[in-house]
Structure formats: C-alpha cells, structure tokens
C-alpha cells in the first residue's frame, strides 16, 4: 500500500515536471534579459565585470535585501549564543608556536587580499561578499593562532552601521540627485576597466566588503564562545 502510494506521488510529480518543462528549449535563451545584460552591461553601468553590473547595477535593490538578510542572520546568531552562554570562562589550550607566528605574519596579508578583492569587484571576479569572507577567514586564523586579537565591539558596530548607511544613503542620493530611481548610478561612469570607473559601484562594494567582513567575524566570534 505504501509503495503504491509513493509510486502515485512520484508519478504525479513527474507528470507535473514534464508538463512544465516540455516546451522550454534545452540550452537556448529562455529570455532576452541575459543577452541584454551581456551586450549592454558595460555601457550601462561602466563595470567591466558583467556579474557585478547585474548584482549592483541592474539589481542593486536585491543586493540591499541580501545585505539585510546577512545582517539579521548575524544578529540572530549572536543573540541566541549570548543568551545561552554560561558565565564560566573556558579554559583554552595554547596554540603551537608555529601556528601563532604564522597567523601573525599572514593576517595583514589576508586582510590586504580581501580588500583587493572587494576594491576590484567591478573589474575582476569577486566583490564585496567574497572580499568580506576572506577578511573573516583572516580573523578565524588569528583566533585559532594567538587568541589575542579580537575585533573591538565598538569598531565592529561602527563599521557595520557605516557600511549599511553608505549603501542606503548612496541609493537615496541617486533618487534625488539624478531624479531617477533608488540606487541609480549618478556618478560619472569613467572608462570601463580602470579602477575609478562604474560610478557608485566600487563605493558600494567597499562598504559591503567591510560590512560583510565584520559581520562574518562577529559570527565566528560568537561561535568561539567568548564575549569580551
């Protein structure tokens, strides 16, 4: 009986999928949006990286939503872990000298690489989220290695707020200055491929990069268990 029921459910699902997908051509363009982005992205947004021209140019509003989701997730995790935390400090074993020295030596270089990724988000693969993740990985290495360098709570809060505010204020400025729409690119687009190009996109990516870096570091910090 159960087998028959399962078979029936699978048959219904299969029929549904076949009906929906029968008319969609395999591998072809199912909409003209993709080719439009590929052909006009560079001119429209000034970003040499087409993915960025979509993420921060055509669909910047969605990205603002994503940043908000990440923020809420980080805050929620922090609240849950702090609420459940017992007050007894954990006894930590000292890391090996190799790990301690290596993490201290590499930490600034990892930060530089993260900054490089988000500053060049409009030119090369990568962007604010990837750069921020790299910065957080640098902090993770330091936490594992020497446990003596924690991101100050005040710094974290100001960077996080500043990043979010920059994004929103630039969007509002586009609304008023150019008289167009929220997050319209009102700064000069410049020559695609140069560092100073694509108008507001690099500024937003720097803001997102710092914000995401701080947020993910905060997540790691909460998971490590110690709060200040």
Partner 1 sequence: MSVEEREGAAAGPVDDEGAAGTGGFRSALYMFVLLFLTWILLTFSLDWQELAAGAVVSLVITLFFEGSYRAIGLPTLSPRRLWYMLVYVVVLGWAIIKANLDVAIRILNPKLPIRPGIVVIRTGLTSSMAKLVLANSITLTPGTFTLDVIGDRLLIHWIDVRAEGLEEATGIISGTFERYLKEIFE
> What residue ranges bind partner 1 (CB under 8 A)?
89, 91-92, 94, 96-98, 100-102, 104-105, 107-109, 111-113, 115-116, 119-120, 146-150, 194-196, 226, 228
Nearer to partner 1, 111 or 168 (CB): 111
Nearer to partner 1, 32 or 90 (CB): 90
Q: Do you know the residue count of the chain?
A: 228
Nearer to partner 1, 153 or 180 (CB): 153
Contact in structure between 57 and 48 (CB atoms under 8 Å):
no
Phi, psi for residue 168 in degrees, rounded to 5: -65, -45
Smallest gap, in angstroms, from Cβ of residue 225 to partner 1?
11
Nearer to partner 1, 185 or 197 (CB): 197
How many Å apart are CA 55 and CA 61, to the nearest integer? 9
Smallest gap, in angstroms, from Cβ of residue 205 to partner 1?
13
Smallest gap, in angstroms, from Cβ of residue 182 to partner 1?
28
Q: Token digits for 135?
A: 């910065």
Smallest gap, in angstroms, from Cβ of residue 124 to partner 1?
9
- Angstrom distances, CA of residue 92 to CA of 36, 122, 165: 56, 42, 38
φ/ψ region of 27 (left if φ > 0, alpha if ψ in -120 to 50, else beta) reads left
Smallest gap, in angstroms, from Cβ of residue 62 to partner 1?
27
Nearer to partner 1, 184 or 217 (CB): 217
Smallest gap, in angstroms, from Cβ of residue 227 to partner 1?
9
DSSP 8-state symbol, 199: T
Burial class (CB in 10 A: 0-12, 13-18, 19+), 121: buried
Nearer to partner 1, 10 or 195 (CB): 195
Q: Token digits for 53?
A: 């021209």
Nearer to partner 1, 64 or 200 (CB): 200
Smallest gap, in angstroms, from Cβ of residue 34 to partner 1?
30
Closest CA relative to residue 59, chosen from 72, 70, 47: 47
Contacts 24+ apart (CB under 8 A), 31-38: none
């Amino acid at each position: 009986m159960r087998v028959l029921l399962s078979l029936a459910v699978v048959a219904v699902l299969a029929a549904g999928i076949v009906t929906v997908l029968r008319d969609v051509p395999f591998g072809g363009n199912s909409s003209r949006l993709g080719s439009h982005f590929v052909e006009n992205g560079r001119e429209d947004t000034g970003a040499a990286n087409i993915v960025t021209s979509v993420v921060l140019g055509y669909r910047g509003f969605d990205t603002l939503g994503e940043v908000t989701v990440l923020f809420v997730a980080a805050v929620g995790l922090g609240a849950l872990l702090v609420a459940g935390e017992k007050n007894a400090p954990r006894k930590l074993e000292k890391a090996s000298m190799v790990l301690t020295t290596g993490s201290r030596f590499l930490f600034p270089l990892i930060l530089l690489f993260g900054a490089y990724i988000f500053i060049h988000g409009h030119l090369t693969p990568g962007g604010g989220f990837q750069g921020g993740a790299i910065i957080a990985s640098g902090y993770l290495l330091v936490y594992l290695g020497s446990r003596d360098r924690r991101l100050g709570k005040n710094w974290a809060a100001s960077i996080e707020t500043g990043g979010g505010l920059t994004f929103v204020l630039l969007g509002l400025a586009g609304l008023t200055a150019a008289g167009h729409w929220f997050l319209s690119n009102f700064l000069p687009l410049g020559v695609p491929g140069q560092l100073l190009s694509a108008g507001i996109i690099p500024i937003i990516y720097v803001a997102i990069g710092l914000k995401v870096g701080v947020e993910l570091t905060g997540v790691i910090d909460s998971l490590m268990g110690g709060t200040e």
